[in-house]
Structure 1
């Protein structure tokens, strides 16, 4: 019975992501009012809200007994408390547009992210980029897929071979920030560092062997719920900055192809936690 339910949820999550993706593409030239959350680099549009409403309404119709945690409804300040209150049973964790700044500027690196958890642990992940029609999916213990084809992490054996990615929280976007200092620590030790601006897709790029690692602080459950499952099902690993298994309410995330993980953790730990 549980298997059939999760198969149904997997199929419906893909359907919802595709429907939201179509809505987003229809509004590419008409994004409506663009608002600021914390500052000029933390954006939300009418389309974010419409995408969330679409997905939320479908879940409430098809799975009325399941809880929902979503970015625009919850808000960053309440994410931790909301997750702790609602982490039993099946729940849907939604980012209606992960990478809103990219969406606003027409950069083709944003996604609809839908993660489904059971008792707080991810069991289904769906990440869909409507501009490239790339669909990343996973079910727990069933593997990870890109447009229906199995995917696996890369085989880079050292940090020197690794292409890494990171990102900024809105309040970290300033000169001399901690993230910039971490990048400086990795300069010359890794092949290069990229900043793409959509955590769910960055995790999927590791899952498909295009990136080797990704680190970020201050993420919320909707940023990671789908991507971490896709990555781990592709053979990767996700921890916090101290190397402990990652949980959706943790404030730091370090992800990799598993092989370079210890070396990666050591490199970014060289900067003391309190420095900024």
Structure 2
């Protein structure tokens, strides 16, 4: 049975994208103002190796102010202030993906904003979504002034130029990205054999510390593929759409969710993602 649509609501992806771009620039302004005065930041520990600063919180507040004014009909799920899904679609917000990099002065971090529409939502020109789906993505890297954007069916873009995933000749020719367990180590016994296999089977593996930039860089072909475990939904929502709209695959590593909101993600071209899934499956619990 098809999901029931939201008949009274027409989801405008272009308006949502414009609001998200404005919000991302506002957040980036906050972050860059603090980047020059990192020593004065108040830093808290949410959990082991899970840091939050006033830069995260103020950047998120700047995003929320814009989105609540421009798109009050959408729910909000934000890393620092929480929230909940509601209505036909909800924003997933990470105001500073790469907080540890930011706090150590490493210029590799980004603002991530995604709109995830519920199953049953009607999109122009009348398509009804069969499952929950990211439909708008904005990832802004203020250090490089790189703005990645995407809308469902409209492609993935970097500073106004369309991007596509890479097409390596074979798995041995790939450069992969990943993220090590840093907060939740419960899946380390699954992850480490995957890392060893990737290290021995490819040109190399990189770990730069920002999941959303790993996905954005996979979308534009800088990386050939990416996988990680134990992330949060706001870490992956925007990047998943970018990779998909760049002609690639971005899916749940365990194959159980329509988009990897559980934080176990694999992404790349159809060939590369397929190879990673096949090679990593034996190392997953129950694999």
Question: Which TM-score bucket, shorter chain as reference?
Answer: 0.7 to 0.9
Matches of residues 101-250 of structure 1 in structure 2 within 5 Å? 101-119=100-118, 120-172=132-184, 178-243=190-255, 246-250=258-262
Residue deviations 1:80-119 (CA, integer Å, cap 9, x gap): xx76xx2641211100000101111121211000001221
Pair 1:13–1:248, CA change in 2 (3 A) = same
- Residue 181 of structure 1 deviates from its aligned partner by 3.0
Matched residues, number? 263
Pair 1:163–1:95, CA change in 2 (3 A) = same
- Residue 170 of structure 1 deviates from its aligned partner by 2.8
Q: TM-score, normalised by structure 1?
A: 0.88
> Secondary structure of 1:154's partner?
coil
The equivalent residue for 1:42 is 50
Residue 59, structure 1, aligned to residue 71, structure 2 = no
RMSD over aligned CA atoms reads 2.2
Unaligned runs of 5+ in 1: 75-81
- Counterpart CA distance in 2 for 1:55 and 1:240 is 27
Matches of residues 232-271 of structure 1 in structure 2 within 5 Å? 232-243=244-255, 246-271=258-283
Pair 1:274–1:102, CA change in 2 (3 A) = farther
- Counterpart CA distance in 2 for 1:22 and 1:113 is 14
Residue deviations 1:174-198 (CA, integer Å, cap 9, x gap): 9x75433321122221111111111
Residue 10, structure 1, aligned to residue 22, structure 2 = no
Unaligned runs of 5+ in 2: 1-8, 119-131
The equivalent residue for 1:19 is 26
Q: TM-score, normalised by structure 2?
A: 0.85
